[in-house]
Amino acid sequence: MAISSKKSDIKINKAITARDVRLVDPDNILDPRILGPGQHIGIMSRFDAQKIANLMGLDLVEVSPNTDPPVVRVMDYGKFLFGVRKTKKKQRVQKLKEVKLRPVTDEGDYQVKLRNLSSFLDHGDKVKITLRFKGREITHKDLGQKLLDRLKLDIAEVGVVDQEPKLEGRQMVMVVSPKTKK
């Protein structure tokens, strides 16, 4: 069957146009009775390589098209694609979310912010906690530090502090990441 992958320019089976190819077998799946003992790698015509792949019921896949001659490999291409898609599903990009507070944040608002923060950490995202001082509030840095210390204690079971609270101009910043699940 002649398939050519549209997402990537990988040529498969009859879509390979080179006259001669270099056959590679890194997984040692080729039967020595077909090729002969010790001849698992070599330059041959595309038709001979295709015959070998057909005898085994596998696909001939062009691995490196820019070499002379192009490198091809005998493999089960469908199984290979399935494995690639499966590993891509498991990957998750970690985002950086932000929660903004003030040193005079009320208890109800604090609980809402804490709930949002826990939700972000449960989803596996990092969270930047910004405590902003307005006007003369900057003279009471200890209130901001107490609030961030309380926040550290409240999220201790779901998150780990990556960056301790530090004052940057008129705001205190702390970065928290989710605890790794064991």
Predicted local confidence at residue 36, as pLDDT = 43
Classify 172 as helix, strand or coil. strand
- Packing angle of the helix pair 107-122, 141-154 (nearest 10 deg): 50
CATH number for region 13-89? 3.10.20.80
| Section 125-140 average pLDDT | 93
Among 69, 58, 43, 55, CA closest to 1: 58
Mean pLDDT of all residues belonging to the chain:
81
127: exposed, middle or buried (Cβ count in 10 Å: 0-12, 13-18, 19+): buried
Q: Give the helix/strand (H/E) hosting 88.
A: helix 77-90
Q: Is the pLDDT of residue 39 over 50?
A: no
Question: Which fold would CATH assign to domain 96-178?
Answer: Translation Initiation Factor IF3 (3.30.110)
| Residue 40 pLDDT class (50, 70, 90 cuts) | low
**Whole-number Å distance between alpha carbons of 157 and 23:** 54
- Got the DSSP string for 38-87? T-SSEEEEHHHHHHHHHHHT-EEEEEETTSSSPEEEEE-HHHHHHHHHHH
**Rounded to two decimals, what is the model's pTM?**
0.53
Classify 143 as helix, strand or coil. helix
61: exposed, middle or buried (Cβ count in 10 Å: 0-12, 13-18, 19+): buried
Predicted local confidence at residue 8, as pLDDT = 59
Predicted local confidence at residue 37, as pLDDT = 42
| Section 99-124 average pLDDT | 93
Residue spans per domain, the chain: 13-89, 96-178
Residue of higher predicted confidence among 42 and 147: 147
Tokens of 118: 């826990």
